[in-house]
Chains A and B, each alone.
Chain A
């Protein structure tokens, strides 16, 4: 296996890179959606998978990023891709402000608070906060991104932009995972009391994970705004957060490959069964229950079995 792994990774990467050459525009578009959800889920994985913090309001950070990008672009004519760092920063700072007073809460209380934050953000957007979000209609007329003199318009071009970001993210997050920071998060997830006892500043690491994961959602928001050229509050509702949460759990919290695989399955598979579109959420719910009963650690558990990732909180306290 040890030798097979790099080979498999190169093969998957090569297949993906060539995909737009032999797939039609619609299929490439599905791949783009998967890439966007992959980015979002990788950000959430940092919070939920690595640090073990239940965040079910990830769509709120996504929304903050997308709206930051859209407002900067439509009002101040800043090229949409230039807003990437700014929307990341906005979403990250927003997450820090929100998480600061609540991050110490026990797992499922944190879950509820983040759901609440997500809803408040959505309602604020619908109510046209500061007169800048366009209410229920959202913001339209976001300009097309340019990169190296090329206008990015067709799904094929977006594919390379989005999956380029995914590849970069995978690289960065793999490094992060092995760093002191990443290991501290894992200790935190496995046993908060022990982590605290061994001198890890748990509050700092929790907030850092929240901020960084949210910043990633914010940047994904920019890509989303650029891809759609129109955004509205509906794209950031509670079920988006639920789907992202499920992707991380289903893939195996804390495992980057698992999370991406789950993004493929959760976003891609339903496209194959479009004729059963109305039943797909039903199946989705059923799969979640069955997974938890029979394989709670997810498809590809993290840590090679040394840790069990779903000890996110241990025991029933």
Chain B
């Protein structure tokens, strides 16, 4: 009923134009489906929870001017001052800013004096206020006590003897049992570090790291040539507090350089590369679909103009307007389907390359199918206007000579 046979033989005589449309759709499907895989992967990774009250946290880095500086004293005075400010929920000292892309990692062993088989984690040197400051969810055990806090110079050895870890780290280090009360060691030493608490999650310093979420916290203050603070404010007060902190910190001690950032800002700049991939690939997908649609409109109009006389003849012989429109829509479907079948093969080949050469995620078949259906719909929509116009060609065309 769809006049498939005459349609196919007509197409065969005009194969170059049909082929060009099919080819465009094939290439578009191959590109769009692969871009969708990447975009979806990046969006998922950017949407991962950080485990923190990220909106309300300010990060401060400061560096004293003189070399002989009482770092421990300054940290104590600053924290007291900040914690007493109205609008500040809590403040904590840290060796690194969460999600900043810069921090420290170490291997932890489960046996003393071991050389092999360590579990790698991002580690924080912080204090008993950090859980409250970051807004972490302590699911097992207890927080650090003030008497567990250690202070040491940057070149002295020795660390803390307690740790709080993330659930992810706990599961990786002790897969079968509870990590609470277990001990961790550094390589080549036998000083045990007891795990006293487990927090639900914390993304750590490097969100794009393959081990992101493996985090260990220690109650330790290492004096060095710079220090960092994290400050959590009450909701909505972050920006006001931000300005106050700048003045108050430099008033308390003008002999230093202070730099303040919000964690929201930090997170955005950490995800810059992913964000660029998402935006550029989305733009490519949109433009591509648009251009292909325009191409189909242009070519179908031309094609119908060329066949105006033939349409007139068919109308004169009794074909209804609906018959004529349907003919061109079915023809478009045949071409588009051919292109999309070719494109499916192309998409899978390209995805193979993406996985092996560029370590991108593999393509789930349902996603490919969805992309193909969307492109088929776009192609039909593009053909609709010219097809409806074709139906308006009057039967009198049959009598005209072009």
A and B pair up: no
User: A residues within 8 Å of B by Cβ?
Assistant: none
B residues neighboring A (CB under 8 Å)? none
